[in-house]
Amino acid sequence: MEQKKQRKKSSLSLLEYARKRIAWKVQLNKTSTAELYRATVNHFLKFTGNERFRLEELNRTLVADFAAYLQNKGLATNTVNSYLSSLRAIYNAACYDRSIFPADHPFRGLKLKREPTVKRAVPVAFIQKLANLRTTDSPKQELATDMALFSFLACGMPFIDMAHLTASNLRNGELVYNRRKTGAQVRMEITPVMWQIIRKYTPTDGEREFLFPILPTRTPTHSQYKHCLASHNKHLKVIGNKLCIPILFTSYVTRHSWASAALQSGISVAVISQGLGHSSEKTTRYYLSELDVSELTKANRIISAPINCLLGEG
């Protein structure tokens, strides 16, 4: 009877189980992970040509062949790694909840080595040029400019976290929020120029829930957010061309630029990690719990000084 029950569990299809994991990630507000899982399964099922592929059929040879298949499609190494890592996460979850009972783990011995990403940081001089830019003839470019500046001034705040800020994140002169990606809490002093940008976009009618006019509704879908991000990056690309920024100007650039400037200014990696809201770097997590918010405030004042002076802070 037990063998029969076990055989029934192990006949679960990859697609069926992945859908459960995707739904769970969506419920946990891990929509990016859910999208990655969905893309991974789509790629894998195209590779096998079998929509009914069962989890118990996965083996080390298939994993190696799937990696080669992705590489032959011209995907970047880090993208291939993300798909393999996601497939492994789905498989491991099935093992943990006893949906499958592998005799030999198909991902045993798999090592994923990430390649360095393309440089995304620019010197502070370009951020100063951005602060000087006048875009009043284009409201959308003006908003994109202000959000890029706010990101830099707010310790490289990610676009997704800026988009979801509300008045509740403003507490006694500090900006306090939790990274949507990692859940890590970030606290910092709100500088006068950050206040200028916040007040510029503060809704007067009380109809808008969010601090900035980025997302369209009170309960935006992930696809709506992705559309807003794409639009933001489209305007940043135009702005970057105007300023002759040597790399593609995207929402990531101000984040990486703050981190790069902080490192060049002698700020410790632990403080930088606190500002960025990282939680995956084992070497810094211990220090993050020990840091006082004043250390981050001091670091951000050093990095933001040129922009704050330029835009009116004494």
**124-310 carries CATH number 1.20.1440:** no
CA 206-210-211 angle, to 5 degrees, is 90
Neighbours of 39 (CB within 10 A): 14
- Band of the pLDDT at 280, cuts 50, 70, 90? low
Q: What gap in Å lies between CA 132 and CA 312, rounded to an integer?
A: 12
Which range among 20-24, 183-187, 235-239 shows the weakest confidence by mean pLDDT?
183-187
Contact partners, residue 149, CB within 8 Å, separation at least 6: 127, 130, 131, 193, 197, 254, 307
Q: What pLDDT shows up at residue 24? A: 94
Query: Once rounded to an integer, what is the mean pLDDT over residues 261-266?
Result: 79
pLDDT band at 201 (very low <50, low <70, confident <90, very high): very high
Q: Give the closest residue to 151 by CA, choosing from 127, 187, 118.
A: 127
Confidence band, pLDDT 50/70/90 cuts, at residue 284:
very low
Strand partners, 166: 210
Residue written as token pair 């996460």: 89
Mean pLDDT across the chain, nearest whole number?
A: 85
Query: Residue 305 has what pLDDT?
Result: 85
Helix (H, G, I), strand (E, B) or coil at 229: helix
Q: Does residue 5 register a pLDDT over 70?
A: no
Higher per-residue confidence, 18 vs 273? 18
Given a cut of 70, is residue 313 above it in pLDDT? Answer: no
45-76 confidence digits (pLDDT tens): 999 999 999 999 999 999 999 999 999 999 98
pLDDT at 194: 95
Q: Would you list the domain boundaries of the chain?
A: 2-96, 124-310
What is the C-alpha separation between 183 and 271, in angstroms, rounded?
A: 17
Q: How many CB atoms lie under 10 A from the CB of residue 305?
A: 14
Look at residues 111, 94, 98, 103 and name the one whose alpha carbon lies nearest to residue 53: 94
Ramachandran bin of 212, using left for φ above 0, alpha for ψ from -120 to 50, beta for the remaining angles: beta
Which has the closest alpha carbon to 212: 137, 160, 172? Answer: 160
Q: How far apart are CA 86 and CA 14, in angstroms?
A: 12
| Neighbouring residues of 281: CB distance < 8 A, sequence distance ≥ 6 | 273
Closest by alpha carbon to 235, among 117, 137, 128? 137
Q: What is the CATH code of the structural domain delimited by 2-96?
A: 1.10.150
Q: How far is CA 96 from CA 91, 92, 99, 100, 220, in A?
A: 9, 6, 8, 9, 33
Three-state SS string over 161-183 comes to HHHCCEHHHEECCEEEEECCCCC
144 close to 239: Cβ distance less than 8 angstroms: yes
Decide if pLDDT at 282 tops 50: no
Average pLDDT over residues 25-31: 86
| Confidence (pLDDT) at 80 | 94
The whole-number pLDDT of residue 8 equals 44
Which range among 64-78, 107-121, 224-238 shows the weakest confidence by mean pLDDT? 107-121
Average pLDDT for residues 12-18, to the nearest whole number?
93
pLDDT at 98 over 50: yes
Can you give the length of the chain in residues?
314
What is the predicted pLDDT for the residue at 297?
A: 79
| Per-residue pLDDT, 199 | 93
Angle at the Cα of 231 from the Cα atoms of 230 and 234, rounded to 5 degrees: 85
